[in-house]
Structure 1
């Protein structure tokens, strides 16, 4: 049956646009593909293919390639020759790596589906997929994602459910067009501040992580849906804690003085700091107190503020109040806090 379908396709020659050989128990890709240079769609899902044939490099007009549910162990280098490819389905394989150069020619790729594989890392070269809009890597073994993934400026949807992620890079703020971010069932403790800059984000699902608070500014996102079931979110249940005295190190005192002089544009300090790159680097780690709005270096006191979610959000039951992480520079400022701001007791 497979041979008959290939013969039929070959008779069409350059006019053949679609070849579908799904579920035929094929173990090797047909080498005669090089006789179909005008091919647009190639469906080979649900077979037993373990390697991509070199002849695939001749399919420079191919726009859709489906190799889902096969036995591939890597994203092969031959992919770089598919310069017209827009949709690549590689779900349900045993892929654990990208071959060197695999991303080089996929400049027109819009959709990449890598669900249900064995990927433990994503190479920095992922950033070469400049036109990628939909990226799905659910059910893999990712412990992290490279910051280069966040340079895919056209990305609309990012699916990273059921991995082993412990954090998301701050550079996620560069995904300006991102509308859907799915992070279900990972090990994420904290969302980066950069998430708050995703002005086009409409759907966020972080269910089944270990998040307790959200970054300040999270409440201003224009979400339509926000799901966070299965996270140990802080609840509005104040705990009495022993108040300590403010004791600052010499470095903290000096740093605060310099940072606040810089904020007031003191010309002497502004000129002097240009000669001290190490000091500039230290100052770049500064934080701003939520009470007095002055800068400080050490995270002196971590607090949580409870604010109601937007009425426009469709939310899970455990998000009646959004717990926001707030940083305060001293106990003096802590004593001036509002009624919805609480200190986080250190256990």
Structure 2
């Protein structure tokens, strides 16, 4: 049947640019596709295809390929030879894996839609899709995302709704062009501090997770839309941390001295630290106290500060205050905190 339908397309010659065989109950892709060497768009959506034909790899001018709502069980290996491909739709299949090397030839791909499949993991090679601007992985079974995905420097839209993610990698800070991020209905407990480096982010959806508190720089994001309903956010109530005497070990005392001297541009310390890369790496993980502004390393009090969302944000209904995680360096600073900062028991 598919061959007959394709023959009709080819009656006018082998120069067809667009082929649409949508919803024709096709079970097998026609091998005569290899005759359509100038094909630019191919749509086999809503059929019953289990496997693509090898001839697909000969369509070296193809830009758009839609194999959505079929019975594929893996990303077709043949597509790695279609180096011209820019938009690939594989939604609504049974895909659970990527064959090795399948991303190698897709250097021009800008859109990848893998919604509604059975993916439990993504290969590290997804980081090779250098031109990708739109990636949608809604309704899969992902428990994590590889850090390599965070190096897709052109990515502007990322959709990961309805998965099983528990955390977001700190390397997300490298998605410098990310404008829209959807993480709704996962198992995410917190967003990393590095999340606040997403200066281009405009739309964020984290509804239906288990987030209680957001990172301290969150209010500085230039969001336009923010959705966080159905999360167990901290409420503005007097929750007081246990009062403990400050006892710092020698490492903490030394680290605080070095970090605060570096902040004051002490030339001797700045020069000396270059000779000790291990120490330099350790103090690079230091935190700044929200009360006194000084640096500390491993000893702190975790508190929550409540801030009002920006008036320019479109937000979830009934969101009045956003709980932010702030760190204090000592009990002394805790006793000097303002009325809007609470300890976390």
8 Å CA contact 1:13–1:35 kept in 2: the answer is: no
Task: Compute the displacement of 1:85 (Å).
Answer: 1.2
Deviates more, 1:171-180 or 1:108-117: 171-180
Task: Compute the displacement of 1:87 (Å).
Answer: 1.1
Task: Compute the displacement of 1:254 (Å).
Answer: 2.0
Q: Deviations over 1:233-290 (max 9, x none)?
A: 1110112443111111222112212222232333433333333222222112211111
8 Å CA contact 1:104–1:128 kept in 2: the answer is: yes
CA distance in 2, matches of 1:47, 1:317: 40
CA distance in 1, matches of 2:83, 2:53: 17
Alignment of 1:16-165 (within 5 A): 16-165=16-165
CA distance in 2, matches of 1:93, 1:128: 23
8 Å CA contact 1:91–1:117 kept in 2: the answer is: yes
CA distance in 2, matches of 1:284, 1:275: 15
Unaligned regions of 5+ residues in structure 2, if any? none
8 Å CA contact 1:299–1:327 kept in 2: the answer is: no
8 Å CA contact 2:45–2:68 kept in 1: the answer is: yes
CA distance in 2, matches of 1:77, 1:265: 55
CA distance in 2, matches of 1:81, 1:100: 13
Task: Compute the displacement of 1:112 (Å).
Answer: 0.6
Task: Compute the displacement of 1:37 (Å).
Answer: 0.5
Deviates more, 1:110-119 or 1:281-290: 281-290
Superposed CA RMSD in Å reads 1.6
8 Å CA contact 1:287–1:299 kept in 2: the answer is: no
TM-score if structure 2 supplies the norm length? 0.95
CA distance in 2, matches of 1:187, 1:288: 29
8 Å CA contact 2:2–2:30 kept in 1: the answer is: no
SS of match in other structure, 1:158: strand
Unaligned regions of 5+ residues in structure 1, if any? none
CA distance in 2, matches of 1:283, 1:13: 69
Alignment of 1:174-253 (within 5 A): 174-253=174-253
8 Å CA contact 2:240–2:342 kept in 1: the answer is: no
Residue in 2 that maps onto 1:334: 334
Task: Compute the displacement of 1:318 (Å).
Answer: 4.3
8 Å CA contact 1:173–1:195 kept in 2: the answer is: yes
Matched, 1:308 2:308: yes
Residue in 2 that maps onto 1:283: 283
8 Å CA contact 2:273–2:279 kept in 1: the answer is: yes
Task: Compute the displacement of 1:154 (Å).
Answer: 1.7
8 Å CA contact 2:3–2:32 kept in 1: the answer is: no
Residue in 2 that maps onto 1:264: 264
CA distance in 1, matches of 2:107, 2:255: 46
TM-score if structure 1 supplies the norm length? 0.95
Deviates more, 1:192-201 or 1:39-48: 192-201
User: Paired residues, what number?
Assistant: 345
Q: Deviations over 1:195-218 (max 9, x none)?
A: 222222221110000111111121
SS of match in other structure, 2:255: helix
CA distance in 2, matches of 1:16, 1:10: 7
